[in-house]
Chain A
Amino acid sequence: MELFANQVLAGIATGAIYACMALAVVMIYQAIDHLNFAQGEMAMFSTFVSWQLMQWGVPYWGAFVLTVAFSFLAGIVIERLLFKPLAKAPILTNVAGFIALYAIINSVAGLIWDFTIKQYPTPFGSSPFLGSQLISTHQAGMIGITLLMLLLLFFFFRFTRVGLAMRAAASLPESARLVGINTSWMIALGWGMASAIGSIAGMMIAPVVFLEPNMMLGVLIYGFAAAVLGGLSSPFGAVMGGFLVGIFENLVGTYIPGVGNELKLPIALALIIVVLVVKPAGLFGRAIVKRV
């Protein structure tokens, strides 16, 4: 039983990484209605920017704020330059665009900062949290930051005019335009916010997985899986999905014999698919009804 409890705790710790990323994934899904495959790379690039700022002597929280601002602007710029012209193109063409963006960012980051693995500092320290060896203070801090972002997002979407306008633009663009919402800019704003949240996720994740251009590859896959599991229409679901995937993954690795690190991912994904077959809109998502 103690083993079980410990594994669940460790699962929550890794799950926090996925939850962070899943939140960014859901954010962009809310704004543009599909998954952005380049999201992880955008987050990775932002994390490198913050690292560079710290190398130049900017203190952690200063670099943190600057990076979030930079990522927000960069997200908007990417949308305006690259994806606004593709707004009328078929969805699959847009997906190809995400893959292209992925290749570009990954390769540029590799050229600027090369592929060696770098240490990344944490503001929370890395001593055991409350005497537990399984969760460090950094991971506890990460969970705290994730929940805080979730809360802020909830308030933003629930109680601000812009949040309401964004939700309207995402669910019924034409009607939203009729009541005077600039839906095109709402999409850009969605990109900016997703990019900013992604950068926070990146800076939280980097101390755990270390900083290098491919650091987000696995994390993004789990982030997608978490977001889909929790339901793409619900930020709360995405965070819960993140923790669930983390716990899943740890329990699978502990209790199913012969599962090495390599089979963890396929099995976790297979379990998620089983969940989706039973509940196609995700655990916390709303069912979408099509009008014919």
Chain B
Amino acid sequence: MSAAEEVEVVTEGQAVEAVPKRAMTLGYGTSLVVLAALVLIPLFVKNFIIFQMTMLLIYGLAVMALNILTGGSGQFSLGQSAFYAVGAYTSAILMEHAGMNYALTLPIAGIVCFGFGFLFGQPALRLSGVYLALATFALATAMPQLLKLGYFEHWTGGVQGLVVTKPDAPFGLPLSQDMWLYYFTLVVTIAIYVASVNLLRSRSGRAFMAIRDNEIAASAMGVDVALYKTLAFGVSAGITGVAGGLGAIAVQFVAPDGYTIQLAISLFLGMVVGGVGWLPGSIVGSAFIIFVPNIAEGISKGLSGAVFGVLLFLVIFLVPHGARQVAIVAQQLAAKLKKN
């Protein structure tokens, strides 16, 4: 038997489908409408709903971070909850132990997570597909246990976790705490969204997508595959870390069991429902993972898991490409209407 016969040859397409970079964002008009809605809605609803909208933005950020990693550079991660946890703990520890201002802790959380993700990306370089999924999965399962370790207990509060104080609106603005936090989160989210869109349109973004579409071809074109793959991990982890920090402030509490593998799976589902590789879909995905479990619980308490599963199946049957598919269909309809 010759050597050539011993290896299987795979010619199928890559795991993540190619999304052209224009298709990754929204048009200006739609963006303005969405923005106006996000700014105005909180003025008319109750505090609890404002809190939920804050969480919507925060999970939206985390889903978007995963989207940059998977949709952008084609790498798969089930370990986002670990980065989220590191961000949350960084913020919480800086606020509670060092007395730092909450807004200043976020960039630090982002940088710490960027470093963490970048370093984690190094061994992950040799892995892809299921193997990478397993490696990131290991990270996600290990994280809550690491946070519980007695060695760090002085800082992390061990199993008990840490309580975080909720910030008041500055300059004596007449806003409730929830509403202030919402607008603060909104500003951070928009800034990161714009930065991410620009990142994907830049040279680095093109390098990510080249790697996603064909790694070998990308390296032949002179893309430093190792550097950009780890960089994608770093950026994704960094954004997730900021989201984690915001989450800690919004929930006012960090504890190891809040950041289990379940969170990572939720974020993954959010990405699929929102449409892999379509950044605006992240908010749709985030809405799915926040509200659908509640809806499922409302329909049937005992069978909430089954109802959730059925709803998820319905979504992926109707729109296998997630919210992106809906957007594309809507766009085509609008274009047709214009012609008439």
Contact = CB atoms under 8 A, between A and B. Distances in A.
Interface of A: 34-35, 82, 85-86, 88-93, 95-97, 99-104, 106-108, 110-111, 171-172, 221, 224-225, 228, 232-233, 262-263, 265-266, 269-270, 272-273, 276-277, 280, 286-292
Contacts of B8: 171, 233, 286, 288-289
Contact of B130 (A35, A93, A290): A35
Nearest to B11: A291
Given A95-B272, A276-B127, A289-B7, A269 B138 contact: yes
A96 B134 contact: no
A104 B306 CA distance: 4
A89 B320 contact: yes
Interface in B1-43: 6-11, 15-17
Interface string B89-131: 0000000000000000000000000000000000100110011
Interface stretch (B52-60, B166-174, B200-208, B308-316): B308-316
Interface of B: 6-11, 15-17, 70, 76, 123, 126-127, 130-131, 133-135, 137-138, 141-142, 145-146, 148, 214, 216-217, 265, 268-269, 271-273, 276, 302-310, 312-313, 316-317, 320-322
A100 B272 contact: no
Nearest to A35: B130
A291 B310 contact: no
A100 B313 CA distance: 6
B134 A225 contact: yes
Contacts of A34: 130
Given A221-B141, A224-B134, A276-B135, A93 B7 contact: no
Q: Is the interface of A mostly helix, strand, loop or mixed?
A: helix
23 contacts: A86-B317, A88-B320, A89-B316, A91-B15, A93-B320, A97-B316, A99-B312, A101-B313, A103-B305, A104-B313, A107-B304, A107-B307, A172-B9, A224-B134, A233-B8, A262-B145, A266-B141, A269-B137, A276-B135, A277-B126, A289-B10, A290-B9, A290-B216
Most chain A CB within 10 A, of B123, B133, B313, is at: B313
A82 B76 CA distance: 24
A195 to B, nearest CB: 17
